[in-house]
Structure 1
């Protein structure tokens, strides 16, 4: 089974707003909703789990509201101590043992089901248990984006694949030159960039 886990437990302090980052409105729709719709459009993802925490109570309520019409979506309450800590907690859960897990940030509004499927197809060709998806740093320069972390000539995207076991896993690195994987909504400047790409003002 392929389980997609939407990481939505962080504060998102760089947004400089009281609104929880997964609920940042983009054209009148929370950013996490774009991610959930992309996952639902994937032909490979079997189940979706949204990992929230005490840091994101309104996000939990938002997801609970859509569960009635979306039985393939679930919620996991994580410690909210940070991305790595929440991921480790997730991997320690028996429900995820030996499953293929797609972790995705809740702030990737341009992501599509087609891109998720493309990454999964590349993963299925690999002999390694994990895959880290990267974006060329030049793409950030092209769009005047500020990367959170630069590893040589690449930047980690908000999309990764691993097996459900709480151990270190050998990983394949996949580099994709796609703005859909580069544009995380981490700051007001990122929203401005998104508006330019969409060609319409924020509502």
Structure 2
């Protein structure tokens, strides 16, 4: 199953629409994400809605395997995933967590992550990518043996860490039980006072659980949409990408 985070408002998009409904090349951006998940073989998709939830539900009404949970208050990405606890508890395979504003997400990348998860059976697998210019993105830090250590946000990086080209892509696969356990341990001890799904891998790692990072995603998949300029960049990339999202 997959959890798609789709509760946000498109404030910087200068749109009254929920962010995930902003059109990209003529289609609401969340449809590209849903299509990629389906093409990768994910048959149950839980969409976390919030701002103008009824509009998102109406857009996806009748879609096979898609259901909705409501995040009444937007208290962070971890809080959004908490809203899907009941669905997570029912999951029998890995739980994929992705952002609904990532229309460049590719089915082939998700398939590679699912295959690695089936082979390694970690508590958590992060999908990462290498970017020539990783500015602004969280760096994936590894130890001398190449094992995942953590993600450091750009603003917190040392000069050495800023030279790292492997970046976090906000694409996660969790063992369902381990995800529920880590959600129970999340706190709001941060500047924004929110619950972050990005904290879950570190919590699992601190308990000696297996946490892996696989650079299976293409650099273009880091193109999320926050501003009209981002939208233009994604549309340009869609026009030239070798593996367009599935219509």
Q: TM-score range by the shorter chain?
A: 0.7 to 0.9
Among 175, 179, 185, the alignment partner of 1:163 is: 175
Whole-angstrom distance in 1 between the partners of 2:90 and 2:120: 17
- In structure 2, the partner of 1:183 is 223
Distance 1:81 1:57, change over 3 A: farther
Give the counterpart of 1:48 among 45, 48, 51. Answer: 45
Equivalent residue pairs, number:
187
* 2:109 is equivalent to residue 107 of structure 1: no
SS of structure 2 residue aligned to 1:97: helix
> Does structure 2 conserve the Cα–Cα contact (< 8 Å) formed by 1:140 and 1:182?
no
With over 3 angstroms needed to count, the CA separation of the structure-2 counterparts of 1:139 and 1:117, relative to structure 1, is farther
Distance 2:137 2:53 in 1: 24
Alpha carbons of structure 1 residues 176 and 71: separation in structure 2 relative to 1, 3 Å: closer
Whether the 8 Å CA contact 1:98–1:163 is kept in 2: the answer is: no
Root mean square deviation, CA, Å: 2.4
SS in 2 for 1:18: coil
Offset at residue 185 of structure 1 (A): 1.3
* Matching of residues 16-55 of structure 1 within 5 Å: 16-43=14-41, 45-54=42-51
Residue equivalent to 2:69 = 76
Offset of residue 49 of structure 1: 1.4
Cα gap change, 1:94/1:18 in structure 2, threshold over 3 Å: closer, same or farther?
Answer: closer
Whether the aligned pair in 1 keeps the contact of 2:29 and 2:100 (CA below 8 Å) is yes
Q: What TM-score do you get using the length of structure 2 for normalisation?
A: 0.67
| Residue ranges of structure 1 left out of the alignment (5+ in a row) | none
Do residues 116 (structure 1) and 128 (structure 2) align?
no
Which structure: larger Rg?
2
- Which TM-score applies when normalising by structure 1? 0.79
Q: Give the CA deviation at 1:22.
A: 0.3
Q: Are 1:87 and 2:81 an aligned pair?
A: yes
